[in-house]
Structure 1
Amino acid sequence: MASEEISALLASKPNSAAASLEPENETSSFSFYVPPYPPFKELRPYNGFYRDKSGKPVMIFSMLQINEGPLLEYFAPFNHRLESYTVGGGSRYNIESSPVYRAFHSHQGTKRVGWDGWCGHLIKDRWAMGGKKEDVVICLESPHIKDAVLEYMKMHSAEWKNNPDLLYNIMAYELQYICFCDKSQQMFREWLGKKYSTVQELNVCWNTSYGSFSEIKAPETKNARPVDNVNRAAWYDWADFNTRRFTDYLTWIKKEMQKIDAEVPICAGGTSSMLSSSNSVTGIDEELIINEVDDVILNESGGSPIFSDLLLSLSSSKKVMVEPEMGGSTHNLLLQFLHGKSDISKWWWGSYPSKEYMHMNQTSLPHSKEISLADIDEVLRIGLDVRRLGPEIAEFTMNDPQIAILYSKSSILQVPPQLIQAGTTPYIKEIRSVWEGSRFLGCRIGFISEKQILAKKLSDFKLLIVPAAKYVPPEIVKSIKEYVAGGGTAVIIPESFVFDQYARELNITDELGIGIESIILPDVVGTQERKQNYDQSFSREIIYGNVNRRIKVSDKDIFSKSDITDQLTSDGLLLKIDPGQNEILAEFEDGQPAIVLARIGKGSLYYLASPLETDSYHQLFSLLTDRVGIRRAVKAEDSSGNLITGAEVRGVERESDYLVYASNLTSDTLEFDLRVDAQIESITDLRSLQQIEDRHIILKPYGETIFKIEKKRKF
């Protein structure tokens, strides 16, 4: 039955639902007709998407390694993207034939120094897939390596110059880089000399007594992390420098590539490092890479759309976002496009089962025992539907978000050595929890960086959430207070603003009239087994004990009209706080303040005494979203009138209709009603082209679609 339906889609057979749809002035008439991909050389990136000659957004979905055969009815050719390996001059699969390999074995100073962790694909460790089992871990500061990289680039340039379907060229991805060679040390000292006017100024920040910059050496690492007694201020500067010098290297590689081919968009990156406890040893700052290197945003994040929201927010302009090798399950693929990826290459459709790496067969669609035929059917349907619904999908990232989560580079870099390999930190955990608590609000969620705050971008948002950003520069805190005083609203989650970027105490809560009397930290009860991450690095998660506490809310401020009584729950450390003259909005069961409202100027600052469980964040943010006046064009509500959770549902309003997407993230069937503050003519499921008789929606497990809600016409 499923194969017959897909055949009908391809053949564009007449359909009663399609015939009943009339043309609409903002989109073409809907039908099951699936347009062929236009010649890729005709596509141009503009305002966040590839666009055809008429200016319509085109969504591209390919499958690793499908370049020919009947599956091209469903997928774009995989070879429209290329990883050229120009960052290091080769990969773990072909390095033995590269000039870099000869240079590595022939010259002094070509080997990485002072680092015993993962090579970051530059180039390979002895346990890597492909080629001889040996360490070929290069130093990018070596002039011999640089010359060899340029030679490799010229040798392989025909691979991208002669590909008529090539839409983007990846210099390399899943990258990480750190090196402590003499050249790196000198570059670090020069960077410090530009940052600090005198060595005395540096000594104040580092609590050191250097007589000159020439005495300084980068902090040491051992076992893939800084040593336990590292100078935290010096480590912060070294990690910050490392992101700067690696971005500069990528910029140099790009310029050399453009001497050969100036047309094909270029990108590089290491997406997963942006939300990793080990970021400070990776050299990755996607905010720098996106804005200084990428022509298209490289997002090789796999499952969660949180990275899409983050990377789009960090970009200073709207760029195409591409996913070159998307792992994860076959579920919720449409959601990836709806969060801004306009070009996805899915892992994978193997030609035959792997004999060497048999575990990989479970991720190959035709060979897996875990991927059902129904799942494969849905993947094929997505391949067709994103082609015909490209303009509708693009609508959902056209409007900018009004809620921002603080992405603090300082808190990402400034991690205690013992937590570097933990996989996460309290700050990263809260980023994810806050984002999860926000994704069901029915509005777009964004991020704001420290750099963007200093550029006066905070005023673009109605609500700021600060998720346990423990290490923050004082000027960022000052800007946030000014934002609130000017009428903004902020939620501060502990332990935010405790230290500056150099790990020196800030004591900002005193300025808010809130006293911190004591802190109860979760007990460490163990560690998990060491595991290999998506990007090939390793981590060992720390397991904390349970410190959940029930929270009873008052009938004041945002809670005055809510039906929340004692439904909020804390999750993590507990602060015993003295609220001073500020208003207590919620208390723990022992009567201690849990949520305090500080009114600053024209705005409101909500200070939490503990992080919350994700569901409690959702309830709190739902009330705040209403309070700050963020309008949801469409709301999805359960039988009690509350926002549905478990499915992302978000709408955008246009002149004569609404577009609404719904994506069920669970293995259960979900039901909800669509609430629209307007009279409506009809609701159509744009994937099935079936009319919805009322506003009641039933979503099957992992089901996802886009609805078109026609407004009632005025005559």
Structure 2
Amino acid sequence: MHHLFRFLRTTVRRYREHPALEMWNVGSEPELTSSMAEMRLYAGDAGKMGDMLCYCANCRRSFRRWLKEKYQTVGELNVSWNRNYRTFADTEVPRTRNTFNDMIDWRMFFVHTLGENVRRRFEIARKEDRGKHPLLCHHVFIQGFPVTSTASDPWNVGKYGDLHGFTQMDDPMMADVLRSCAKGKPVISAEMLMLFGYTLDLPKPIAINDIKRFVFTGVAANLKGFIFWQYRPELLGREAPAWGLTFLDGTPTPWLASFADVNRVLQRNASFLLNAEPRQAEIAMLYNPENQIFAWEATGDEKTATDSLLGTHKALYARNYAIDFIHPQEIDGNILSRYRVVYIPFPYLLSAKLATALQEWVHKGGVLIGESYFAGWNREQGRHHTIVPGYGFHEVFKVRQRTVAPVEKQGVLELEVTRDLPFIRTGIKVFGSLVQEAFLPDGADVLAKFSTGEPAITLATWGAGKAIAMGTYLGLPYYRGGYASNADLICSLVDLATKIERPYVRGATKIRIDVLRTPKNDKMVIVRNLEEVGVVDEIVLPDPVQGELVEEFTQERVPLHQSVSGATFSVKLEPSEVKVYRV
């Protein structure tokens, strides 16, 4: 580390006065494996955990010091780990995933270590730069950089930097995670990966709608800038000859011309975009790094938790909900009061502190939605709760776990909706995964049942709020299997519990609608066809917007009509087309 910090210090001193310097990327994709992808594969396959970093003598010593700071007394450590150590020097570094809490601590130690490294980088750069340039923290994405193997927790490094960027791929959840952890600091796409590939594993050519999708999905999530990786194709190593906006010899490609067209629209609207913001999210999803590690320990694949998040987000996004992410370290603040709904996919591991905060929030009027085995693991005592949902949540959800059965070999099980809901009707089948957890209701209403007739999804009132419990996992099979009825049910549960104002379509087409506005109430409307076929529909904007819309690429003029629901307009979109309107 001494040499790394000396290099950073020398570099900043040398170039801080350079006229071409715009900002410092001080934390460029901070993660444990240094982009050696093979070293992080064990997070998706526990059979490869022999690749886990790092068991050197220095890490073992530092881990024991970290444990002492975390637990204060060896007695507290023994309670959490269910051991009988006499001193912290006796603690064994875990080498299996069989006892949960010790391995969670082992991996979270590296999260802490990485965060301290990033903190030190920013301290040095800020001191040497003398405030002349902003400092960027460039995050990796949770899908490809699991916390179990890379120690990447966006909130851990999100504390540092004047602005935040991320490695952008084709998934809107990534932008929502970045914006949420940045906490009001400017956010950009620091590395657009649209033409990534390897030798003889090359990307498909891209067209203007691909570019518009990347850029304006980001704009809608409040990104303020975009850097494409990279202008010329790579010539070195296994990434050659992919990635470029030009051909290998540097001559322009058709997609370079398309990028220029998109950039002209961005620059024409630069003043607006730098001052505009999307609507405030009223739904929060929980990202919990300890629960991510628990999912890896329990199933051998951290993607069990990650894909549950992705599937739930995908369903809500397609119904035009705005979504934030929250993190356990934020619960000290008043963050829950910002939201009407907290949705927790794969909620096996919480904590007593988080449980208390959620329960108080629900009692005051919040809506809590959780999947199977809600708070089933007692993090403080390192054991399973004897009553599930745990931490007293059985009183909030007004159900208890009765029987649990595995799913069949095909990986999914059927549930049947038992009453008409906003986007799904009685008798429609939806599909769960991993477990069939039947409930014993104690004052909760049943919304869906298993094929055995046992309660599968319930709704309860708790104080001024509501709580919805699920006896299986819905987001995971939706993300992996595309079961459309799962998405309908996920959104129905939100809409049943509370009405959130948002843009929507009159018909059944899948169109994402985002509205940006400035403090002066200037507006931009971004519509994206989420289907691979052409669609025609009517869009409803809840605001009383008057006048007409002008499409920024074609100058098409679209009249706005007023109704009791708000302003409406008709739209025709080609497959996957994106249109951008100014009012």
TM-score of the two chains, using structure 1 as the length reference: 0.66
Deviations 1:458-492 (A, max 9, x none): 11101110101211112212221221111111111
1:427 to 292, 297, 305: 305
1:376 Cα offset (Å) = 4.5
**Match for residue 458 of structure 1?**
336
Aligned partner (choices 229, 233, 236) of residue 347 of structure 1: 229
- Larger deviation: 614-623 or 458-467? 614-623
Given the alignment of the two structures, is residue 630 of structure 1 paired with residue 492 of structure 2, yes or no? no
2:36 aligns to what?
none
Q: Give the structure 2 partner of residue 564 of structure 1.
A: 425
Equivalent-residue separation in structure 1 for 2:522 and 2:245 (angstroms): 37
Query: 1:250: how far off?
Result: 1.7
CA distance in 1, matches of 2:256, 2:427: 44
Asked if structure 2 preserves the Cα contact closer than 8 Å seen for 1:395 and 1:652, the reply is no
Q: Distance in 2 between matches of 1:621 and 1:461?
A: 17
Task: Output the CA distance in 1 between the equivalents of 2:340 and 2:429.
Answer: 23
Tell me by how many angstroms 1:576 deviates: 1.9
- The AA in structure 1 aligned to 2:8 is M
Change (3 A) 1:666 1:167: farther
* 2:486 pairs with 1:486: no
Aligned match for 2:454, one of 592, 602, 616:
592
| One-letter amino acid matched to 2:245 | L
Counterpart residue number, 1:71 = none
Specify which of 159, 176, 189 is matched with residue 309 of structure 1.
176
Task: Decide whether aligned partners of structure 1 residues 562 and 325 sit closer, same or farther in structure 2, where only a CA change above 3 A counts.
Answer: closer
Cα offset, 1:162, TM superposition = 4.2
Asked if the contact 2:222–2:278 (Cα under 8 Å) also holds between the matched residues in 1, the reply is no
The equivalent of 2:470 in structure 1 is 608
Pairs within 5 Å for 1:118-157: 140=1, 146=2, 148-157=3-12
TM-superposed deviation, 1:212: 0.8
Amino acid at match of 1:609: G
**Matched residue, 2:66:** 191
- How has the CA–CA distance of structure 1 residues 159 and 381 changed in structure 2, closer, same or farther, with 3 Å as cutoff? farther
**Gap change, CA 1:360 and 1:686, over 3 Å in 2:** same
Alignment of 1:396-415 (within 5 A): 397-415=277-295
Counterpart of 1:491 in 2: which secondary structure?
strand
**Cα distance in 1 for residues equivalent to 2:21 and 2:174:** 25
Structure 1 residue 336: deviation in Å? 2.0
The Cα of 1:445 is off from its aligned counterpart by 0.9
* Deviations 1:566-617, CA, capped at 9 Å, x for gaps: 3351231322222233111222444222321121111111112222254335
SS class of match (2:108): helix
Q: Secondary structure at the match of 2:109?
A: helix
Q: What residue number does 1:215 align with?
A: 90
Question: Following TM superposition, by how much is the alpha carbon of 1:328 offset from its aligned partner in structure 2, in angstroms?
Answer: 2.7
Q: CA deviation at 1:658?
A: 4.8
Contact 1:574–1:610 under 8 Å retained in 2: yes
Q: Which residue of 2 aligns with 1:271?
A: 140
Give 2:190's aligned residue.
324
Find the counterpart in structure 2 of residue 620 from structure 1: 489
Q: How much has 1:396 moved relative to structure 2?
A: 6.1
How many Å separate the matches in 2 of 1:159 and 1:302?
A: 34
Decide whether the 8 Å contact of 1:551 with 1:589 is kept in 2: yes
Q: In the alignment, what sits opposite 2:383? A: 504
User: Deviation digits for residues 83-118 of structure 1, max 9, x if unmatched?
Assistant: xxxxxxxxxxxxxxxxxxxxxxxxxxxxxxxxxxxx
**Equivalent in 256, 259, 263 of residue 124 of structure 2:** 256
Deviations 1:394-429 (A, max 9, x none): 566354311111112220232444855x4x432212
Distance 1:295 1:679 in 2: 35
**Larger CA Rg, structure 1 vs 2:** 1
SS of equivalent residue, structure 1 residue 680: coil
Residue 523 of structure 1: CA displacement?
5.8
Alpha carbons of structure 1 residues 658 and 326: separation in structure 2 relative to 1, 3 Å: closer
Q: Partners of 2:111 and 2:62 in 1: how far apart?
A: 12
SS at match of 1:345: strand
Give the aligned partner of residue 34 of structure 1.
Answer: none
Q: Kindly tell me: are residues 475 and 188 of structure 1, through their superposed partners in 2, closer, same or farther at Cα, counting changes over 3 Å? A: same
Pairing 1:681–2:566 present: no
Percent identity between the aligned chains? 16
Q: Tell me, what secondary structure is at the counterpart of 1:564?
A: coil
Q: Indicate the RMSD between aligned Cα atoms, in angstroms.
A: 3.0
CA distance in 1 between counterparts of 2:432 and 2:452 reads: 16
SS at match of 2:170: coil
State the one-letter code of the partner of 2:291: S
Q: Is the 8 A contact 1:549 1:569 kept in 2?
A: yes
Using the alignment, how far apart are the partners of 2:188 and 2:112 within structure 1? Answer: 23
Are the counterparts in 1 of residues 424 and 489 from structure 2 also a CA contact under 8 Å?
no
Distance 1:163 1:522 in 2: 62
**Match 1:551 to one of 396, 413, 416:** 416
Output the CA distance in 1 between the equivalents of 2:515 and 2:278: 12
Matched, 1:581 2:451: no
Q: Which amino acid aligns with 2:231?
A: W
- The Cα shift of 1:515 comes to 2.5
C-alpha displacement at 1:190, in angstroms? 2.3
Q: Which residue of 2 aligns with 1:696?
A: 570
Do 1:459 and 1:483's aligned partners in 2 also have CA atoms closer than 8 Å?
yes
Alpha carbons of structure 1 residues 211 and 562: separation in structure 2 relative to 1, 3 Å: closer
Q: TM-score, normalised by structure 2?
A: 0.80
Change (3 A) 1:166 1:672: farther
Cα distance, 1:550–1:373 mapped onto 2, change above 3 Å: farther
Corresponding residue of 2:526: 661
Q: Between Structure 1 and Structure 2, how many residues are aligned?
A: 517
CA distance in 2, matches of 1:269, 1:380: 24
CA offset digits 1:499-554 (Å, max 9, x no partner)? 13365213342444422233233467xxxxxxxxxxxxxxxxxxxx3314142231
Distance 1:287 1:259 in 2: 23
Distance 2:521 2:154 in 1: 38
Contact 2:538-2:570 within 8 A present in 1 as well = yes
Matching residue's letter, 1:409: P
1:299 aligns to what SS in structure 2? Answer: strand
Q: Residues 517 and 524 of structure 2 are in contact (CA less than 8 Å); yes or no, is this contact kept in structure 1? A: yes
Is 1:514–1:580's contact at 8 Å kept on the other side of the alignment? yes
Question: Quick check: 1:516 aligned with 2:401?
Answer: yes
Q: CA deviation at 1:441?
A: 2.5
Code of the aligned partner of 1:597 = L
What is residue 108 of structure 1 aligned with on the other side?
Answer: none
Indicate the SS of the match to 1:648: strand
Contact 2:278 2:516 in 1 (8 A): no
Pair 1:425–1:286, CA change in 2 (3 A): same
Secondary structure of the 1:153 match is: helix
Gaps of 5+ in 2: 33-52, 196-205, 479-483, 561-568
Question: 1:477 is matched by which residue type in structure 2?
Answer: A
Contact kept in structure 2, 1:552 and 1:588, CA below 8 Å: no
Asked if 1 retains the 8 angstrom alpha-carbon contact of 2:399 and 2:441, the reply is yes
**CA–CA separation in structure 1 for the residues paired with 2:186 and 2:295:** 32
Which secondary structure state, in structure 2, belongs to the residue aligned with residue 606 of structure 1?
strand
